């Protein structure tokens, strides 16, 4: 403390000396007048004295840190202290030795913005000029005083030195990574050098290019250095979080990423991090609000190097198979993100770190999110593949929702920049902000490494270019000149297809939708697309198929998981690879269903979501890992051992219990009481009675805690005994696909009779009419979730006229059908 106090006194004394020299004051005044006037001549300011209104003095990063230290530390947002150099100091430095004139002359040549070789040459010349010019004495004096104040004179005290630009991190511009960051900076001389390097980094090739493309005048952007106490995350973990979903712009979640070691690996995209989504409404209620998690490979981590600086090392196999942050830490981080977002009044991009020494979490940066939050309201852009292909060359994490195609160009170094042509598909091990001049020319971007919050992903989003990151082996599987299609339009997973495939782009201006005489819901089964579809006008999800979650997120037969200890070694190895990060096979199965259902429920919360419990046929169950050991060979699985018949059978009892445990957790522990359940393929009234007993036995009693249990009305027996079935259920959700098939006696999987399949057949429509009237007479819910209304708007109109409560449509049919139904005759 004595050292800090002495340093502070020294700093104050230095300021008094400057103020007491009238000659110097007059010179400063003249200089300031020439620059347009500024009454603040301080060259360094402690972070705790700064507020967000000081961006013009210390840049966005320093101002934001000061704002959080002064305004949010008392409400549980801890931010490490430090100090910032000022824009005044930077301008004064550039005035020395004619640096300004030199820069203006070099950057006035417009050809450097189209010739990457010239850009590299000019950038280097400017940076060398800056580094060859010494700091002004008064700046060095104050820099050392602030170093002493924060470090107490300890030469081993570590700082992070980062850039803070006066035009950086504005709500409509992301300068993420445009300038340099230096970690584990020890001692005053090291700090002085890193501050010098930060000043020079305003003129990296990428920063020059970026400012020019975004219309920022070079001379109007000043660079400051944020010198902050280093969080010892090299023995802990760090990452990035956003207070909204970066891909869809869905703003009811916090998206958290994490990896071991210093956070630069996550920011820079050199590691594939762990990811979580936390749901804000239930977080505010104190519920378990983590609705989804994805384990990253985390192959490397960045650690301190002896004597200063940092290096990357391989992680251990044990680290790779574990989550780098606990659920409690993820929840605490999400709470901090919500507080920061509320304070700033806009979605935020936040960097955090966990100190390996004290185990505490710290916020080390926060800036406005600049892409997803800027999307035009009331306009829906959708890309869709028009061709199906099984020829997937590679896959990774999708960035954005677009599709691109072109010829592959694999680059191994930024030095190959001049070899890249407009419209090519950029393939690299990883990119960093230095690659921005190439990235803006690419038709699509593919990298081996990186997560959805790395610099490459942020820049790709801002440029509107489809990118797939974290592929692992794209540079091995692709070759220069290959024609590929890069699809980010199929959920969180991005696919690289062989060849140039057809796709379409649709843009819909929503405008004001007409009032219609029933509720329009959606059929959504894929949690990866839920946040996008949830922003369509809707009254909830009328059909969420659990099979989609089981098939894609789990991929293992539930019996194989229950019998894990006795299954063969090969099957066990396949299961082990899928359930990394989960405590047991049973927990893996249950928790993955929890995450899938919770994500779907969050996308429309608090509107209702009707989850159809598993309705795999035996042949579909057989295709899951281990399934061939448990499933029968049936002649016609479509009308075989499926739906409610499984739920009440002793063979499947324990498997069904895991599904119900998941639903119980989503509704109870997670507080998502908008989840209702639907029972499919209920052949008889005895089955209806038996399944209700099974539900109650597993803690899901109809009516308890508002639980609604619906029946999928899809069999002729459901039509003939409609009123009797309604004694057991809260309503019908009509499955028009199976109802049509079984009413007309045809196999909808057979191409030989496909021409007879039509939900508008009079016999089918008679069945629909009976079901609607029965539900209405009992005062119970009736909706339809089959394909028919999505394909035939006239059928949807007829159903509305019959008084049906809702139709559940495929998302791409929602707007056209809504507009059709609202037309005046």
Cβ–Cβ under 8 Å, residues 248 and 531:
yes
Crossing angle (nearest 10°) for helices 99-107 and 116-132: 180
Predicted confidence at residue 268, as pLDDT, reads 85
Active-site annotation holds for 471: no
As a whole number, the mean pLDDT across the chain is 88
Q: Give all strands (DSSP E) within 217-267, no chain letters.
A: 223-229, 237-242, 253-260
Predicted confidence at residue 378, as pLDDT, reads 66
The confidence band for 167, taking pLDDT boundaries of 50, 70 and 90, is low
pLDDT at 750 over 80: no
For 454-477, write each residue's pLDDT tens digit: 777 877 887 789 999 989 999 999
Instruction: Name every residue whose Cβ is closer than 8 Å to that of residue 709 and which is 6 or more positions away in sequence.
Output: 676, 677, 678, 679, 692, 695, 700, 702, 729, 730
Predicted confidence at residue 348, as pLDDT, reads 95
The confidence band for 377, taking pLDDT boundaries of 50, 70 and 90, is low
Window from 59-68, 211-220, 414-423, 610-619 with minimum mean pLDDT:
211-220
Separation CA 445–CA 758 (nearest Å): 43
**Residue 244 CA from chain centroid, whole number:** 8
**Kind and range of the H or E run holding 393:** strand 392-399
Q: Once rounded to an integer, what is the mean pLDDT over residues 418-425?
A: 91
Predicted confidence at residue 218, as pLDDT, reads 67
Using a 10 angstrom Cβ sphere, with 0-12 exposed, 13-18 middle and 19 or more buried, the burial of residue 763 is exposed
DSSP letter string over 300-317? EEEEEPTTSSEEEEEPPH
pLDDT at 172 over 60: no
Q: Once rounded to an integer, what is the mean pLDDT over residues 178-204?
A: 89
For 321-331, write each residue's pLDDT tens digit: 999 999 999 99
The confidence band for 216, taking pLDDT boundaries of 50, 70 and 90, is confident
Q: What is the percent of the chain with per-residue pLDDT over 70, rounded to a whole number?
A: 92
DSSP conformation class of 554: I
Predicted confidence at residue 406, as pLDDT, reads 95
Cβ–Cβ under 8 Å, residues 80 and 263:
no
Q: Of the listed 454, 455, 557, 644, which one is catalytic?
A: 455
Window from 96-100, 413-417, 566-570, 696-700 with minimum mean pLDDT:
96-100
Window from 34-48, 143-157, 256-270, 343-357 with minimum mean pLDDT:
34-48
pLDDT at 24 over 50: no
Instruction: Name every residue whose Cβ is closer than 8 Å to that of residue 820 and which is 6 or more positions away in sequence.
Output: 793, 796, 797
Convert 664-686 to b/e letters by CB count within 10 Å (16 or more is b): bbbbeebbbbbbbbbbbbbeeee
Residue 782, strand partner residues: 732
pLDDT at 29 over 50: no
The confidence band for 178, taking pLDDT boundaries of 50, 70 and 90, is low
Window from 171-175, 177-181, 696-700, 739-743 with minimum mean pLDDT:
171-175
Q: Once rounded to an integer, what is the mean pLDDT over residues 148-152?
A: 96
Predicted confidence at residue 33, as pLDDT, reads 29
Separation CA 728–CA 249 (nearest Å): 41
pLDDT at 37 over 60: no
DSSP conformation class of 756: G
Predicted confidence at residue 166, as pLDDT, reads 84
Q: Of the listed 44, 224, 655, 785, which one is catalytic?
A: 785
Predicted confidence at residue 3, as pLDDT, reads 34
Window from 207-221, 350-364, 568-582, 620-634 with minimum mean pLDDT:
207-221
HEC profile of 502-551:
CEEEEEEECCCCCCCCCEEEEECCCHHHHHHHCCCCCCCEEEEEHHHHHH
For 543-592, write each residue's pLDDT tens digit: 999 998 999 899 999 999 999 999 999 999 999 999 999 999 999 999 99
Predicted confidence at residue 17, as pLDDT, reads 35
Using a 10 angstrom Cβ sphere, with 0-12 exposed, 13-18 middle and 19 or more buried, the burial of residue 628 is middle
Active-site annotation holds for 455: yes
Dihedrals φ, ψ of 759, to 5°? -65, -15
Q: Once rounded to an integer, what is the mean pLDDT over residues 245-268?
A: 94
């Amino acid at each position: 403390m004595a050292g800090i106090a002495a340093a502070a006194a020294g700093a104050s004394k230095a300021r008094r000396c400057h103020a007491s020299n009238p000659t110097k004051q007059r010179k400063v005044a003249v200089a300031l007048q020439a620059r347009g006037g500024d009454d603040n001549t301080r060259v360094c300011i402690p972070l705790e004295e700064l507020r967000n209104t000081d961006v013009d003095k210390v840049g966005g990063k320093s101002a934001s840190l000061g704002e959080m230290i002064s305004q949010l530390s008392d409400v549980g947002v801890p931010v490490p202290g430090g100090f910032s150099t000022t824009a005044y100091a930077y301008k004064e430095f550039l005035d020395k030795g004619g640096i300004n004139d030199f820069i203006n002359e070099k950057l006035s040549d417009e050809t450097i913005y189209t010739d990457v070789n010239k850009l590299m040459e000019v950038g280097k010349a400017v940076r060398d000029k800056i580094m060859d010019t010494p700091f002004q004495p008064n700046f060095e004096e104050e820099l050392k005083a602030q170093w002493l104040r924060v470090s107490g004179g300890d030469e081993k005290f570590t700082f992070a030195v980062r850039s803070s630009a006066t035009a950086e991190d504005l709500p409509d511009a992301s300068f993420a990574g445009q300038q340099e960051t230096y970690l584990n900076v020890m001692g005053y001389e090291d700090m002085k050098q890193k501050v010098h390097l930060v000043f020079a980094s305003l003129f990296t090739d990428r920063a020059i290019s970026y400012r020019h493309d975004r219309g920022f005048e070079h001379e109007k952007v000043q660079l400051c250095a944020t010198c902050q106490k280093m969080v010892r995350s090299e023995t802990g973990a760090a990452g990035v979080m956003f207070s909204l979903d970066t891909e869809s712009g869905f703003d009811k979640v916090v998206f958290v990423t994490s990896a071991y070691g210093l956070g630069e690996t996550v920011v820079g995209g050199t590691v594939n991090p762990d990811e979580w989504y936390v749901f804000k409404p239930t977080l505010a209620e104190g519920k378990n609000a983590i609705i989804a998690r994805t384990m990253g490979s985390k192959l490397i981590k960045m650690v301190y190097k002896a004597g200063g600086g940092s290096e990357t090392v391989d992680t251990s196999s044990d680290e790779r198979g574990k989550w780098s942050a606990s659920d409690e830490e993820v929840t605490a981080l999400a709470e901090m993100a919500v507080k920061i977002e509320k304070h700033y009044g806009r979605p935020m991009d936040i960097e955090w770190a966990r100190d390996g020494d004290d185990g505490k979490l710290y916020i080390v940066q926060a800036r406005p999110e600049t892409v997803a939050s800027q999307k035009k309201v009331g306009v829906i852009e959708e890309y869709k593949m028009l061709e199906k292909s099984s020829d997937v060359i590679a896959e990774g994490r999708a960035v954005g929702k677009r599709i691109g195609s072109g010829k592959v160009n694999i680059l191994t170094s930024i030095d190959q920049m001049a070899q890249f042509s407009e419209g090519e598909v950029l393939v690299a091990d990883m990119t960093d902000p230095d690659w921005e001049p190439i990235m803006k020319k690419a038709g699509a971007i593919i990298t081996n490494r990186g997560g959805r919050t790395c610099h490459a992903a942020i820049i790709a989003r801002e440029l509107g270019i489809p990118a797939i990151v974290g592929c692992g082996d794209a540079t091995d599987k692709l070759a220069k000149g290959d024609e590929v299609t890069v699809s980010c339009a199929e959920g969180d997973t991005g696919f690289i297809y062989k060849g140039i495939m057809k796709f379409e782009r649709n843009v819909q201006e929503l405008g004001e939708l007409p009032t219609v005489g029933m509720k329009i819901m959606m059929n959504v089964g894929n949690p990866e697309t839920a946040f996008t579809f949830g922003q369509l006008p809707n009254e909830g999800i009328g059909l969420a198929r659990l099979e989609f979650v089981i098939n894609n997120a789990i991929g293992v037969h539930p019996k194989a998981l229950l019998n894990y200890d006795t299954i063969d070694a090969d099957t066990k190895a396949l299961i082990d690879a899928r359930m990394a990060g989960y405590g047991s096979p049973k927990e893996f199965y249950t928790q993955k269903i929890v995450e899938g259902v919770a994500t779907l429920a969050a996308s429309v919360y608090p509107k209702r979501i009707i989850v159809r419990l598993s309705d795999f046929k035996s042949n579909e169950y057989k295709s899951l890992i281990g399934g061939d050991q448990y499933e029968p060979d049936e002649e016609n699985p479509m009308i075989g051992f499926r739906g409610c018949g499984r739920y009440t059978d002793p063979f499947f009892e324990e498997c069904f219990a895991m599904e119900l445990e998941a639903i119980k957790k989503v509704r109870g522990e997670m507080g998502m009481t908008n989840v209702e359940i639907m029972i499919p393929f209920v052949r008889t009234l005895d089955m209806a009675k038996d399944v209700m007993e099974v539900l109650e036995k597993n803690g899901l009693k109809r009516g308890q805690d508002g639980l609604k249990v619906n029946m999928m009305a899809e069999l002729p027996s459901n039509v003939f005994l409609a009123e009797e079935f309604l004694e057991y259920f809260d309503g019908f959700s009509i499955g028009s696909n199976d109802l049509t098939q079984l009413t007309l006696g045809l196999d909808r999987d057979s191409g030989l009779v496909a021409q007879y399949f039509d939900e508008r057949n009079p016999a089918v429509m008679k069945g629909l009419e009976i079901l609607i009237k029965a539900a209405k007479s009992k005062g119970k819910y009736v909706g339809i979730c089959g394909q028919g209304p999505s394909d035939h708007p006239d059928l949807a109109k007829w159903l509305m006229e019959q008084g049906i409560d809702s139709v559940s449509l495929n998302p791409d049919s929602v707007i056209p059908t809504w507009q059709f139904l609202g037309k005046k005759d």
